[in-house]
Structure 1
Amino acid sequence: MDLDQARAIVREQHHAVLATRRSDGSPQLSPVLATVDAGGRITVSTTANTAKVANIARDPHVSLCVLPDEFFGRWVQLDGTAEAVRLPEAMPLLEEYYRTVSGEHEDWERYRAAMRAERRALLRIEPTRAGPS
């Protein structure tokens, strides 16, 4: 599967499991909602103090398994490198993320306040490989 085909799946199916690497090399798995930004990167919203953010800071290599809502059906695995963008730089990226997953928010000021209170960060994944082939 090429990367554009994989991105098309992520644009439609947002449920995923993100795998990062702990300091001992073992996988750390997190259920997430994923989407694709305007630059073709996979994005995930998270709080800044999570294990996945710490793991990515140490080792940016990640894998993401994207699943359909009903679990069985079309799925894709993407591998790539990730970075965590923290507030305040993350705010416009978090807004784009929300719009892509859920549409327009009814109160953007309330949304921004919640993002600050939750200490949100945005993970950006540059995909390098996708499958199954």
Structure 2
Amino acid sequence: MVRRDPRAPEAGYLAFWREYHLCTLTTRRPDGSPHVVPVGVTYDPEAGLARVITNTASAKAAHVRAAGPEGAQVAVCQVERGRWATLEGLATVSEDPERVADAVARYAERYGRTPAPNPHRVVIEIALTRAMGSA
């Protein structure tokens, strides 16, 4: 495992995050147990953010909101055979239409498809504090 600067990733690490890979998001339930779900993630090292679009009523959004305005400690991870990469940080939920639209555009670029319109869509923004991986 190699620790990396989430705001200044090496070219190969960033390239891995730009490839099409499904990821996992790990949040904490109210009892402290981990909640791990498959998600699409976009990585923006310039802003120091990872983004996950979701429905406002999702469990993942509820877990992040429950942590309060300071944010929830979360991790996103992707793996392909022996390559893997994890980003960690403090997550918050934004309903701001411009932020949601930006997250949707980034998702469409990475995953090659634009999600269907959803008036209940929000974005989980993860202010990155750590990056690691073998990629």
| TM bin (shorter chain) | 0.7 to 0.9
Q: Over the residues paired in the alignment, what is the CA RMSD in angstroms?
A: 2.4
2: distance between equivalents of 1:44 and 1:79? 13
Partner of 1:52: 60
Report the TM-score, using the length of structure 1 for normalisation. Answer: 0.76
Secondary structure of residue in 2 paired with 1:57: helix
Instruction: Supply the AA of the counterpart residue of 1:98.
Output: Y
Partner of 2:95: 86
Instruction: Supply the AA of the counterpart residue of 2:41.
Output: A
Report the TM-score, using the length of structure 2 for normalisation. Answer: 0.75
The alignment-based identity, stated in percent, is 33
Secondary structure of residue in 1 paired with 2:64: helix
Secondary structure of residue in 2 paired with 1:10: helix
Partner of 1:123: 124
- Bigger strand share: 2
Paired residues in the alignment total 122
Q: Which structure 2 residue ranges, 5 or more long, are not aligned? A: none
After superposition, the C-alpha distances for 1:9-31 in whole angstroms (9 at most, x for unaligned) are 32235411100000000001110
Instruction: Tell me whether 1:42 sits opposite 2:42 in the alignment.
Output: no
Aligned counterparts, 1:1-133, within 5 A: 1-2=3-4, 3=6, 4-5=9-10, 6-37=13-44, 39-59=47-67, 60-68=72-80, 72-102=81-111, 111=116, 114-116=117-119, 119-132=120-133
- Bigger helix share: 1
